[in-house]
Amino acid sequence: MRAVGGLIAVALALALQTTLAKLLVGGSAAIDLVLVAVVSVALTTGPVGGMLAGSMAGLIQDSLSTGVLGIGGLAKSVIGFLAGAISQQFILTSALPRFVMFVGATVAHAALFMGLNVGLGLRAFPSPWKAVASQAVGNAVVGMVAFAIIEALPGVIERRRMGRRPRG
């Protein structure tokens, strides 16, 4: 069931990211919803689920962009694996550790993605850290809201189900 939920989360994030990127000026969004979904899946399923979600999401995102196929997939799969491994070693159930995880994952993803592009001589990134910092905070806020919704959803469904039962 978690695998299906993870696939749905990644697919929804990909759809929203591609739709929102077209609506924004410059074609790029300040929040990486796909990375938020990958980290969320990794936090709930562990390193293998995070790695699989990251590689799938990254490769699909690479195929939709104009960049080299595989760089985003590699970066997201490494981040998914690391986020899942860290979540198994430390208790990340409260808000502050999750916030730190989303910020750290975003910064590490940016460093890995940009490092691969620069190392392969594909693209230069002059002074990207202000944009990375704002994206890290944005991703963390969206991730925290997503986790709050995901954690509240089973209770809402159960209360709704209990309200529909006939009394008597």
Residue 83 sits in a domain whose CATH number is 1.10.1760.20
pLDDT of res. 88: 92
The Cα–Cα gap between 164 and 139 comes to: 37
pLDDT of res. 165: 62
Asked if 136 and 36 touch (Cβ cutoff 8 Å), the reply is no
Q: Tokens for 100?
A: 């730190």
Instruction: Residue 139: count other Cβ atoms within 10 Å of its Cβ.
Output: 24
Number of domains the chain is built from: 1
pLDDT of res. 1: 65
Does pLDDT of 145 surpass 60?
A: yes
- Mean pLDDT to the nearest integer, 29-43: 91
The Cα–Cα gap between 119 and 140 comes to: 28
Q: Tokens for 37?
A: 């979904």
Does pLDDT of 164 surpass 70?
A: no
pLDDT of res. 28: 55
Which ranges of 24-128 would DSSP assign to H, the alpha helix? 33-45, 47-64, 71-89, 95-119
Domain range for 102: 2-164
pLDDT, tens digit (0-9, with 9 covering 90-100), for 106-131: 999 999 999 999 999 988 888 888 99
pLDDT of res. 29: 58
pTM (2 decimals)? 0.87
Stated as kind and residue range, the H or E segment containing 135 is helix 129-164
The Cα–Cα gap between 165 and 66 comes to: 53
